[in-house]
């Protein structure tokens, strides 16, 4: 019985050493912030304000109707390392991207949304 209790205590104390997790997050590139995005009002916000606030878009295109589509990207990455008591390590990394899409027509924001990815 004493041997079983000793073995159980040893196993429980080693369980904390079996898994090691190390996680790092990198902000990456940021072109827009949420507090600025909420100030966009379709039909009211000028294209000049958008350029002054967010800078030049990461990508832009022109539609058939003459409106422009501006895209601003925010990127971030996450790296996680999981180790199992000197036996092996697993590295997991993920990249995330949020894109603010703004449609400009006649110098005014016609529509806007965020694409999460």
pLDDT tens sequence across 34-58: 999 999 999 999 999 999 999 999 9
* DSSP state for residue 31 in the 8-state scheme: S
This prediction's pTM: 0.69
Residue 13: pLDDT over 90: no
Question: How far is 71 from 98, CA to CA, in rounded Å?
Answer: 10
Residues 59-65 have a mean pLDDT of 97
Cα 66 to chain center, whole Å?
A: 31
Half-sphere exposure of 115 (CA within 13 A, CB side): 9
DSSP E strands in 1-117: the ranges are: 19-26, 59-62, 68-84, 88-105, 108-116
Helix or strand run (H / E) with residue 4 = helix 2-18
């Amino acid at each position: 019985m004493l041997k079983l209790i000793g073995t159980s205590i040893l196993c429980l104390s080693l369980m904390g050493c079996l898994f090691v997790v190390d996680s790092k997050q990198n902000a990456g590139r940021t072109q827009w912030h949420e507090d600025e995005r909420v100030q966009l009002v379709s039909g009211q916000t000028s294209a000049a304000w958008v350029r002054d606030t967010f800078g030049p878009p990461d990508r832009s295109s022109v539609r058939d109707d003459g409106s422009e589509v501006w895209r601003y990207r925010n990127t971030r990455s996450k790296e996680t390392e999981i180790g199992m008591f000197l036996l092996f390590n697993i590295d997991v990394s993920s990249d995330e991207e949020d894109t603010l899409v703004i449609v400009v027509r006649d110098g005014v924001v016609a529509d806007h949304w965020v694409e999460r990815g």
